[in-house]
Amino acid sequence: MKVHAIPCLSDNYSFVIEPSQECRGTPTQESQAWQAQTYDTQTASVLVVDACEAKPLMQFFEQHAFRPEVILTTHHHHDHVGANSELQRKFKCSVYARFPDSEQVPALSSRLDVEDTESFMTWRGIEIFALAIPGHTLGHTAYWFKNENTLFVGDTLFRFGCGRLFEGSYGQLFSSLKKLADLPDETTVYCGHEYALRNLDFCEKHKLIADGNTQRKKVEEQINSTGSSVPFLLSDQKQVNPFLTAKTVEDFTQLRKLRDRF
């Protein structure tokens, strides 16, 4: 599969997943009926993680002859769901979110209620797991494409940082980050905002990272090459992200409060 990062709003990313060629003929059962009736064969089905803003997404779909079939929502904040209603009206796509965030997600089709170890969907031959990672919001969800070593974390984990607390507790967010850190080192991570350099500024100011210049050069080279610091390898963040390496919830709490004041 191929992941397209679509810049939205001021610093958000929506992600459009394009299945491999051999998987394009296996739609989800739920979408099969409307798809056959509504669209011609010249458009390709894609999946969206966090439909942040309609205009850039619609432009991207038109440019590439894509149609969104599924929207996976990491959490209910408006900058992650702003395009749900418009895309659902136009394309009749299915919108998924986990409770309790699901109660505030526009155009919701299905409320997720599955264990982390259970895949909730096989889309175009791709098995998808929904990991509960509360903290930023209570129903925040990461979407793990296990066999593709790909993880979408919304606003829970960032390069050199983590999300703010809005609804959950420090203990919840600490545990959520530990859950993500337990995933395989080779996991490629897609986060919801372009925060890498600002987070690195924080880490360097408080001497939380040993090789700041090296890390900054690496990030800047990626941005210059691709336009984005996303994605990144989980293995790298396990070594340099102070929020992932915090040993106790007390240490993590102090660090998160320090970042809030930065």
Mean pLDDT of the chain: 93
pLDDT digits (tens, 9 = 90+) for 218-244: 999 999 999 999 999 999 999 999 999
With contact defined as beta carbons under 8 Å apart, do 257 and 243 qualify? no
pLDDT confidence tier of residue 192, bands split at 50, 70 and 90: very high
Q: What domains sit in the chain, N to C, each tagged with a CATH number?
A: 2-260 (3.60.15.10)
Q: What is the pLDDT of residue 117?
A: 82
Q: Is 24 exposed, middle or buried (0-12, 13-18, 19+ CB in 10 A)?
A: middle
pLDDT digits (tens, 9 = 90+) for 60-109: 999 999 999 999 999 999 999 999 999 999 999 999 999 999 999 999 99
pLDDT confidence tier of residue 188, bands split at 50, 70 and 90: very high
Q: What is the pLDDT of residue 227?
A: 96
Interatomic CA distance for residues 262 and 256, integer angstroms:
10
pLDDT digits (tens, 9 = 90+) for 131-171: 999 999 999 999 999 999 999 999 999 999 999 999 999 99
Interatomic CA distance for residues 83 and 161, integer angstroms:
26
pLDDT-above-90 percentage for the chain: 88
52: which 2 tokens?
Answer: 């942040």
pLDDT at 258 over 90: yes
pLDDT digits (tens, 9 = 90+) for 14-65: 999 999 875 555 454 444 433 433 344 468 999 999 999 999 999 999 999 9
Whole-structure pTM value = 0.92
The label of the residue with tokens 């959520």 reads: 176
Residue 136 is given by DSSP the state S
